[in-house]
Structure 1
Amino acid sequence: MIFVTVGTHEQPFNRLIRAVDELKGEGVIDEPVFMQTGYSTYEPKHCEWKKFLPYDEMQQKVDEAHIVISHGGPSSFLMPLKEGKIPIVVPRKVEFNEHINNHQVDFIEAVTKRFNNIIPIYNIKDIYSAIQNYDQIARSIQVNTISNNALFNERLEVIVKKLLH
């Protein structure tokens, strides 16, 4: 299953929803697709969808998904990373009235440069190739997520030991 999420930002992300829906309709995507469409005004014709999902249902979809396709909001693509999955990330762009500026483009570029743990899509036409070659691309990327909780606990333990000794 492919899971597509566009988050909860109030501007539509029709470009992503339409592109994946059309690929499914053309038979290019041969596995089930579920979309969380948010405020998008385009309604998928070939995929299951809901506008919004509660957190636990979102987590379930991520767990079940072979591929997660997300907008460039960190909450949406960090969830699959925590599960050891490489997300395909399509940043919202101001030129398509998907956001108020291009901070998602800048953020995705920075994440890709620093961590190289996502598959960024800057041109929606590239989504076809990313889906078709997903397994090969994902195998070539190492998921190196760092748990801030674990790091905090390690540092706290050092401080406590120093205080007690």
Structure 2
Amino acid sequence: MIFVTVGTHEQPFNRLVKAIDDLKKNEIIKEDVLIQTGFSTYEPKYCQWSKLIPYQQMVNNIEEAHIVITHGGPASFIMPLQMGKTPIVVPRQHQFDEHVNDHQLEFARNVAERMGTIIVVEDIRKLEEYITNYDEIVTSMQHGMNSNNAKFCEELEKIVEEM
């Protein structure tokens, strides 16, 4: 299963929701997909979806998912990391009116560059490639997050303080 979450920010994130739905429609994604759509106005036609999901169900979805795809909110991608998963992070971007500025993009870039623990998708057209090659990409990252949570949190705290 692929689990997608766009968080609870009030601006729609239709770009991600529609891209996932299109990949499912075109049978690029063969697994079941569950999308937490938040305040997006696009309603998926080929994926299961819910606007909001209770916290414990979010935890269950992340635990069960083969791939977790999130927006660039730190809380959304830290949870899969804590569970030993490498999330695909698609930051909301100001140019698409998905957020008030590009802080998600800047933060995700910094985490990817300094920690090497997330897969950042800046260009939505690359999402297909990252999903299709997910297992190989994660294997090649060799970041050892399962045994390195304390160091990750320490480094993440430094990044946040610098920003």
Q: Could you state the TM-score of these two structures normalised by the residue count of structure 2? A: 0.89
Give the letter for the 1:137 counterpart: I
Aligned to 2:61: 61
Aligned to 2:159: none
1:41-52, aligned counterparts within 5 Å? Answer: 41-52=41-52
Aligned to 1:30: 30
CA distance in 2, matches of 1:88, 1:122: 11
Q: Deviations over 1:100-157 (max 9, x none)?
A: 0000110011101110100000000000000000000011121434338x98xxxxxx
Runs of 4+ in 1 over 4 A off after TM superposition: none
Aligned to 2:157: none
1:16-165, aligned counterparts within 5 Å? Answer: 16-141=16-141, 142-144=143-145, 145-147=148-150
CA distance in 2, matches of 1:69, 1:117: 13
CA distance in 2, matches of 1:85, 1:143: 10
Partner of 1:68: helix, strand, or coil? strand
Structure 1 contact 2–32 (Cα < 8 Å) conserved: yes
Partner of 2:149: helix, strand, or coil? coil
Structure 1 contact 11–99 (Cα < 8 Å) conserved: yes
- Note the aligned Cα RMSD (angstroms): 1.5
CA distance in 2, matches of 1:136, 1:94: 31
CA distance in 1, matches of 2:12, 2:96: 9
Aligned to 1:7: 7
Larger radius of gyration: 1
Give the letter for the 2:6 counterpart: V
Provide structure 2 residue ranges, at least 5 long, that are not aligned to the other structure.
155-163
Q: How many residues align?
A: 150
Give the letter for the 1:147 counterpart: A
Give the letter for the 1:46 counterpart: Y
CA distance in 2, matches of 1:143, 1:10: 35
Give the letter for the 2:150 counterpart: S
Give the letter for the 2:78 counterpart: L
- How far does residue 84 in structure 1 lie from its aligned partner after superposition? 0.5
Q: Alignment identity in percent?
A: 53
Structure 1 contact 85–143 (Cα < 8 Å) conserved: no
